[in-house]
Amino acid sequence: MSSDRDPGLQPERTLLAWRRTSLGLVANGGLLLASGHGTSDVRLGLGVVVIVLALSCWAAVSAVYRRGIKPAALGSQRVLRLAAGLVLVVGAFDLYAVVTR
Long-range own/partner contacts, residues 73-78 (CB < 8 A, 24 or more apart): 74/14, 74/15, 74/18, 75/14
Kindly list the domain boundaries of the chain, sorted by start residue: 10-99
**pLDDT digits 0-9 by tens, 68-93:** 666 556 666 777 787 778 778 878 87
* DSSP calls for the chain: ------TTHHHHHHHHHHHHHHHHHHHHHHHHHHHHTTT-HHHHHHHHHHHHHHHHHHHHHHHHHHHT--GGGTTSHHHHHHHHHHHHHHHHHHHHHHHT-
- Whether the full predicted model's pTM is greater than 0.85, yes or no, is no
pLDDT, greater one: 44 or 6: 44
